[in-house]
Structure 1
Amino acid sequence: MVYPGTTEQVSRILKLANREKIPVVPRGAGTNVSGGSISVEDCIVLVLKRMNQSLEIDRKNLLKV
């Protein structure tokens, strides 16, 4: 599991995964008690809970980015 804190770190992780053909499973915060995000073997679990700043709120499409 990796816990990036910046968009630059996410970018570098995804570039590495793409180059090495490693699957990436994005993950927010949670306990995973229900098994909602079960990763495959030999993958990178990209835990995004440190990414806690919103850059934009798109009210029309109900998105927070």
Structure 2
Amino acid sequence: MDDLVTTKQLDYVAGNILKDPKCLLRDLGLKDTTIDQGYYDYEKDGIREKLYQGLHKWKEQKDDPPFL
């Protein structure tokens, strides 16, 4: 059984995820070239969209359905 996510953990993620989204995407296993391409493709769309697209790319690459 997976551990439940605590409110403290959610607060940490919410406060820090947009500070360095590339780090998160790397931790999830995306290659720098994939991340950089997404940043280039969505250059004018802001950091939130870049992160969303990166997470979408991660989801596509997973063999098993991702979960939190």
What's the TM-score once normalised by structure 2's chain length? 0.30
* RCO higher in structure (CA 8 A, sep ≥6): 1
- Identify the structure with the greater helix proportion: 2
TM-score normalised per structure 1: 0.31
Higher percent of residues as strand = 1
